[in-house]
Structure 1
Amino acid sequence: MVKIRAIIAEDDFRVADIHEKFLDRFEEIEVVGKALNAEQTIEILEQKKPNLLLLDVYMPDQLGSDLLPIIRQKYKHIDIIMITAATDKEILEKALRYGVEYYLIKPVKIEHFQQIIEEYLNKYHLMQTDQEINQEFIDRIFKKGTLPSAVNKETSLPKGVDDITLSKVRIVLEKSSIGLSAEQVSRQIGASRTTARRYLEYLISVQECKAEVVYGVVGRPERRYYKI
């Protein structure tokens, strides 16, 4: 699994440690550096070449928001999540202009933090697929005009089914045109076959995929799953 490399720019090392511990819950993310000020932030960006930056505004040597044009000029493809106590409208407008993914106001509730990271990961994984670019795809990326059926599915997930793993299973199915067994899916998402089968059967229940029994060369039946 290719991990998302993240750095945390936060002048309070205790807060930075909390953010790091939280990100460690997500196996797709690896924290590769922490910066206590703006100068260190630029240095670590240059050294580590991360995919994701958690950026504070009020740092001792320079405002994090003032780093945005510098970061966008040198590191165009990095995703930025701002986590700050700043409620200045000018700073918010600057964040929007420079493509900040999310803007979280401190103190951040852990439930909200988790929701944002899950949304970010879903979008990140979706962008890695070869799915055709159409309006539905665009709406999913920008979280606009989502179909009611999709909203209902996401907001009523059964126990044992989470958004992140579900997104991985969807992506694996979307990449396959010949169907996959639960074992094949399990290898690709890094989970057990039982877990993969649970998610696949859930997708059948919400009419996002179908299953067919296929007989192999030795006559052993195999249940294969296809994206609808």
Structure 2
Amino acid sequence: MNIKTVIAEDDFRVAAIHEKFLGNFKGIEVVGKALNGKETIDLLKQKNPDLLLLDVYMPDQLGTELLPIIRKQFPQIDIIMITAAADKEILLTALQYGVEHFLIKPVKMELFHQTIEEYIQKSELIESKQEVDQEFVNQLFKKPTISRDTKESVLPKGIDEITLDKVKNVLETNSSGMSAEQVSEQIGASRTTARRYLEYLITVKECKAEVVYGVVGRPERRYYKL
């Protein structure tokens, strides 16, 4: 999957930080950066991206003023707003035009990472299905599903079913155990994310961990599927 992304941010230094951060994700390609509203619309016409990171306060137009134009000309594009604007009316406008997420500056890197990761997972989920059923819809809208024994199966916050399945599959194919770093490389996520899923699997008794000492004596936590 290749998600073409445009960054609309009037501060070129902040835009560069966003671009560098997005470079950590497999499947995300930054195809352009815009410093104002006009450049944003021009870039969308030229690049036809899948995702737009949109600021509100730009020198020629507010990001919220661009939303109706974008929705009319580029109805399929996904939008994540990253802004210092904390005005309720701006948030309501963003919701009205189907913005994926609204991040208020200064944005914590952990939240930024989680937002992009969840967006990628959602995109992969949509691409993987040709037909829609209720389970698919529940996953898409983050609704709890009902298990076979009629009990609600609800994953804790920060644990996504698709990524969890990826981690399980990786562990199943490596009986000698894996480190969090190795798992992160296999699933295309950060080491912190991989460790969070691995530790969750330990809590539900689907995985175990052992401390292994390497050649130089540095301990390494390795995970094994039960």
TM-score normalised to structure 1 length: 0.68
Hey, what's the Cα distance between the residues in 1 that align with 2:103 and 2:186? 33
Hey, what's the Cα distance between the residues in 2 that align with 1:85 and 1:76? 25
Q: What letter matches 2:163 in structure 1?
A: L
Of 142, 151, 162, the residue aligned with 2:155 is 151
Hey, what's the Cα distance between the residues in 2 that align with 1:93 and 1:107? 20
Is 2:52 aligned against 1:53? yes
Structure 2, unaligned runs of 5 or more: 147-151, 174-181, 188-196, 207-226
- Cα deviation, residue 143, structure 1: 1.5
Hey, what's the Cα distance between the residues in 2 that align with 1:154 and 1:106? 21
Contact 1:125–1:168 (Cα < 8 Å) also in 2: no
- Cα deviation, residue 81, structure 1: 0.1
Is 2:170 aligned against 1:166? no
- Cα deviation, residue 27, structure 1: 1.4
Query: Which residue of the partner structure matches residue 122 of structure 2?
Result: 123
Contact 2:121–2:162 (Cα < 8 Å) also in 1: no
Contact 2:34–2:40 (Cα < 8 Å) also in 1: yes
Aligned-partner SS, 1:128: helix
Aligned-partner SS, 1:8: strand
Query: Which residue of the partner structure matches residue 76 of structure 1?
Result: 75
- Cα deviation, residue 146, structure 1: 5.2
5 Å matches for 1:95-110? 95-110=94-109
Query: Which residue of the partner structure matches residue 43 of structure 1?
Result: 42
Q: What letter matches 1:74 in structure 2?
A: Q
5 Å matches for 1:184-195? 195=186
5 Å matches for 1:11-50? 11-50=10-49
Aligned-partner SS, 1:5: strand
1:79-103 C-alpha deviation (Å, 9 max, x unpaired): 0000001111111111001000000
Hey, what's the Cα distance between the residues in 2 that align with 1:111 and 1:150? 22
Q: How many residue pairs align between the two structures?
A: 181
- Cα deviation, residue 166, structure 1: 3.1
- Cα deviation, residue 114, structure 1: 0.3
Structure 1 residues 164 and 96: alpha-carbon distance in aligned structure 2, compared to 1, 3 A threshold: same
1:176-203 C-alpha deviation (Å, 9 max, x unpaired): xxxxx96xxxxxxxx99x948xx9xx8x
Hey, what's the Cα distance between the residues in 2 that align with 1:89 and 1:152? 29
TM-score normalised to structure 2 length: 0.69
Hey, what's the Cα distance between the residues in 1 that align with 2:43 and 2:123? 22
Q: Which moved more, 1:83-92 or 1:52-61?
A: 83-92
Aligned-partner SS, 1:6: strand
Alignment identity in percent?
Answer: 57
Q: What letter matches 2:155 in structure 1?
A: V
Q: What letter matches 2:123 in structure 1?
A: Y
- Cα deviation, residue 140, structure 1: 1.2
Q: What letter matches 1:55 in structure 2?
A: L
Structure 1 residues 41 and 195: alpha-carbon distance in aligned structure 2, compared to 1, 3 A threshold: closer
Contact 2:78–2:100 (Cα < 8 Å) also in 1: yes
1:153-179 C-alpha deviation (Å, 9 max, x unpaired): 964xxxxxxx69837849x9xxxxxxx
- Cα deviation, residue 132, structure 1: 4.4
5 Å matches for 1:81-100? 81-100=80-99
Contact 1:79–1:100 (Cα < 8 Å) also in 2: yes
- Cα deviation, residue 104, structure 1: 0.2
Contact 1:122–1:167 (Cα < 8 Å) also in 2: no
Contact 2:9–2:15 (Cα < 8 Å) also in 1: yes
- Cα deviation, residue 133, structure 1: 2.0
Alignment RMSD (CA, Å)? 3.5
